[in-house]
Amino acid sequence: MGSEERYLPDNRLFARYDRLIRTPSVTGSEEAVAGYVAGELESMGLPVEWHWAEEKKWPSLKTTLKGSDPSAKSLLLIGHLDTVAVTEGWRTDPFTPVVDGDRVYALGSSDMKGGIAAILEAVNRFIEKSGGRPQNRGDLHLAFSADEEGLSRGTYKLLKEGLSADMAIMAECRFSNIAIGFRGRYSMTADVRGAAAHASRYPEMGRNAIIDAAKLAVAIEELPTAKHPEAGSGTWCIRHIEGGIKTTLSVPDKCGIFIDRYVVPGETPESCTAQVLGAAKSLGIEDRVTVALTKRDTPFMESFVIERDHPLLLSVTRNFREVTGSDPSLEIDRSVCDSNYLVVLGGIPTVTFGPSGEGFHGPNEFGSIKEVEQAAEIYERVIRDIIC
């Protein structure tokens, strides 16, 4: 590391950040970090509900600071507790924060334990500055979910069990590039059938499923996608192809293609599978191809874009400007996250904004000390704007 190496700031915000990082929470192993966050919420006088996606697996947390006016607008602050697994190539211990200037190197330092720490600090300050008796008119909901890096079982479970609000901030790692929308994503398979024969008799006998699948894969990636004025275009990606048996002298009689399909508003599972079948028909192999969405425990994520004049977005951007001295950009994220579920399944307009960094989902991820500090201040200001 560089000559600027130093320690995290000595205060409550970064003590929590440090503890969150040092508590491993790879997807499927979130219980310890959930227990820590629950304890911090209870220390603020907030009652905590535990929601398990399955029996003693994938725990998520929910709490509410009740407001005085049932008709007032409510706000949800939410983030995910889990991280991806440790990858090869780390130069430091991924569970020990290493500070170099403004950078904090550790797994989850950006995605997204900085966001969790900032939420906790913002709410703590809001309660403390009111002398322990907040005067909020609207409800303030907090939620911390499991499995965002997997199948988003945590947020899906919370929504099924009643999580709701008039608006939400998802504290994902997008700081100066606030996300006002996301593309959606489906995955599907195209199974191609050939005809087996002895390999020595090919091509006079047999039909090679790998060759047909290869032609279909090329045709799929050339298929058109819808265009949206803000979300841009959808995309096709062939992620895996498998067929044949290496140990026998047989013409491959089957080959499977795994397809990733990112979508924009207006594209549906039905329209996308129909496109793949259309590509098969154009090759004259439609009777040899079966297309199906992959099976998963949670729904596929649909695309969305929120209004640019939404009161929450206006509050976040104004307070961002006042705290940082600069204007954030407003973008549509090309991927997916739990915000898709909040908006599409929960009907909760969601601004995706939180302290960021670089290298997430890879080795040597780092977060930003300054952005964690500023995000906590911005969250606190937005809380006062929306629910007071």
Residue 56 belongs to a domain with what CATH number?
Answer: 3.40.630.10
Place of tokens 């398990």: 52
The two most distant CA atoms of the chain are separated, in Å, by 86
Q: Are residues 205 and 155 in the same domain?
A: no
Task: Give domain status of residue 383, yes or no.
Answer: yes
Alpha carbons 178 and 350: distance in angstroms, whole number: 11
Residues 148, 153, 159, 163: what is their CA dihedral angle, to the nearest 10 degrees? -60
Render pLDDT for 28-86 as a digit per residue (tens, 0 to 9): 999 999 999 999 999 999 999 999 999 889 999 999 999 999 999 999 999 999 999 99
Last residue of a domain, one of 293, 325, 340: 293
Render pLDDT for 288-317 as a digit per residue (tens, 0 to 9): 999 999 999 999 999 999 999 999 999 999
Q: Are residues 10 and 33 in the same domain?
A: yes
* Mean pLDDT value across residues 132-141: 91
Q: Are residues 105 and 246 in the same domain?
A: no
Last residue of a domain, one of 268, 293, 318: 293
Alpha carbons 159 and 19: distance in angstroms, whole number: 28
Question: Is a pLDDT exceeding 80 seen at residue 3?
Answer: no
Q: Are residues 56 and 163 in the same domain?
A: yes
Task: Give domain status of residue 298, yes or no.
Answer: no
Task: Give domain status of residue 362, yes or no.
Answer: yes
Q: Are residues 168 and 214 in the same domain?
A: no
Task: Give domain status of residue 22, yes or no.
Answer: yes
Last residue of a domain, one of 293, 328, 343: 293
Q: Are residues 105 and 203 in the same domain?
A: no
Q: Are residues 163 and 42 in the same domain?
A: yes
Task: Give domain status of residue 352, yes or no.
Answer: yes
Q: Are residues 23 and 171 in the same domain?
A: yes
Q: Are residues 68 and 206 in the same domain?
A: no
Render pLDDT for 96-134 as a digit per residue (tens, 0 to 9): 999 999 999 999 999 999 999 999 999 999 999 988 788
Place of tokens 């909901």: 141
Q: Are residues 34 and 136 in the same domain?
A: yes
**Structural domain of 236:** 184-293
Q: Are residues 273 and 324 in the same domain?
A: no
Alpha carbons 26 and 214: distance in angstroms, whole number: 36
Hey, how many other C-beta atoms are within 10 angstroms of the C-beta on 63?
20
Length of the chain: 388
The candidate with the shortest Cα–Cα distance to 255, out of 217, 219, 293, is: 217
Task: Give domain status of residue 172, yes or no.
Answer: yes
Render pLDDT for 231-255 as a digit per residue (tens, 0 to 9): 999 999 999 999 998 999 999 999 9
Number of separate domains in the chain: 2
Q: Do 322 and 138 touch, CB atoms closer than 8 A? A: no
CATH classification of the domain holding 250: 3.30.70.360
* Mean pLDDT value across residues 1-26: 88
Q: Are residues 188 and 178 in the same domain?
A: no
Alpha carbons 353 and 9: distance in angstroms, whole number: 22
